[in-house]
Amino acid sequence: MATNPDKLKNTRNHSLKFIALSVVRQASTGRVFLGGSDFKVYSADTADATKFDLKEIGKHESYVTCLALTDKALCSGGYDGKLSWWDLDKGSLIRSVDAHSKWMRSLATSPDGKYVASVADDMVCKVWEAATGKLVHTLKGHKEKTPNHFRSMLYACAFSQDSKTLATGDKVGHIVLWDVATGKEKSTMEAPGFYTWDPRQRVHSIGGIRGLAFSPDGKQMAVGGIGYINNIDHLDGPARVEVLDVETGKRAQLFEKTKFKGIVNRVAFEPKGEWLLAAGGAGNGFFIFFDLKKNKVIKEEAVKFHVHSIALDEKAETIYTAGHNAFAAYELKA
């Protein structure tokens, strides 16, 4: 039986001295890993509800923006362009490579455990062997400039559940689907509603695809970000989620009329596809749950801090939540 978003309950809260930009959870355990604005990578055991002791594993030369887990290692990426592998048991550095020439934005591990993908503001996606760190593919399918001639950004990447397809999404809403085996482009999709250009007051742009997730059956893709922004100095646009048909590339569903304004930083499917979760924020944060079969919002929940990252356990019974100076856990029971 799928977990029930109506049963959502906040079960633990912990203050942090840094902005947590990424959280991942080690499978079949209560162990989580955090990275953020203090340049450090941490582990913490959440099995004991009374404790949350952060243990430093290592550090980067700038913000740690993304994390991913392999079978035996934790991968971390940062604004320094470095991709590092850390031994899960020893907490020591295995290897570190100069992966990208600009800020890294996202990491993803293929479900079969073979590959790690990284994306950065150099507009390149790279695919690495998870076990050895060997570079397998360098994927270039995103333009360096927006249509308004400003620097673009490559925010998100995600693997399909069968590990055969990799998706990447950028600032102007351009999505590329790649064949993981060959490194060749399979198709593209467009979601321009996530991009705002202000030609008058600020002559600047904002937005982009911040969250990407394939449905469990691989037929759909959820995309998260922010809708049109009247004042780009603030995140006063509507939280926006689109669901795209992978085969046709066309938009199947749009969710923008919710009670929350702000940017959707993460999207995640319930393991059987029973619901979709969007998480993000503006000043504070939010969770929004969608029933895609009924095409409706089924739960909206305020979070006391801007949510930058989430991690779900195997049954989607717990949502580990990281963000602006805080970590929290939420439980969903059937």
For 287-318, the pLDDT digits (tens) are 999 999 999 999 999 999 999 999 999 999 99
**Strand pairing report for 220-226 and 211-214:** antiparallel
State how far the Cα of 7 lies from the Cα of 3, in Å rounded to an integer. 8
Beta bridge pairs of residue 280: 264, 286
Nearest to 71 by CA among 157, 131, 141: 131
Class of residue 334 by CB neighbours under 10 A (exposed 0-12, middle 13-18, buried 19+): exposed
**Confidence band of 153 (pLDDT split at 50, 70, 90):** very high
Asked if pLDDT for residue 239 goes beyond 80, the answer is: yes
pLDDT, tens digit (0-9, with 9 covering 90-100), for 5-23? 999 999 999 999 999 999 9
pLDDT at 65: 98
Name the least confident of 113-127, 227-241, 249-263, 264-278.
227-241
324 φ/ψ angles, rounded to the nearest 5 degrees: -70, 100
Alpha carbon of 210 to those of 157, 183, 202, 295: distances in Å?
9, 22, 22, 22
State how far the Cα of 208 lies from the Cα of 226, in Å rounded to an integer. 7
The domain of 194 spans: 5-331
Length of the chain: 334
pLDDT at 205: 67
pLDDT at 38: 98
HEC readout, 202-264: CCEEEECCCEEEECCCCCEEEEEEECCCCCCCCCCCEEEEEEEECCCCCEEEEECCCCCECEE
pLDDT at 201: 62
Nearest to 116 by CA among 75, 154, 161, 86: 75
Asked if pLDDT for residue 333 goes beyond 90, the answer is: no
State how far the Cα of 138 lies from the Cα of 145, in Å rounded to an integer. 19
Give the number of domains in the chain. 1
**Confidence band of 199 (pLDDT split at 50, 70, 90):** confident
**Confidence band of 206 (pLDDT split at 50, 70, 90):** confident
Asked if pLDDT for residue 48 goes beyond 90, the answer is: no
pLDDT, tens digit (0-9, with 9 covering 90-100), for 164-193? 999 999 999 999 999 999 999 999 999 999
Q: State the DSSP code for 46.
A: -
**Strand pairing report for 20-25 and 31-36:** antiparallel
In 256-306, DSSP assigns E strands to 263-269, 276-281, 285-291, 296-303
pLDDT at 334: 61
Higher pLDDT, 123 or 196: 123
Instruction: Return mean pLDDT, the chain.
Output: 94
pLDDT at 196: 86
Nearest to 42 by CA among 51, 53, 50: 53
Residues 6+ apart with CB under 8 A from 231: none
pLDDT at 233: 66
pLDDT at 232: 65
Mean per-residue pLDDT, 248-260: 95
pLDDT at 197: 79
Tokens of 92: 């020591």
Name the least confident of 22-36, 170-184, 231-245, 257-271.
231-245
Residues 6+ apart with CB under 8 A from 173: 190, 191, 192, 193, 194, 195, 207, 208, 209, 225
Q: Residue 90 CA to chain centroid, in angstroms?
A: 27
pLDDT at 28: 86
Nearest to 194 by CA among 296, 264, 108: 264
Q: What CATH number is associated with residue 202?
A: 2.130.10.10
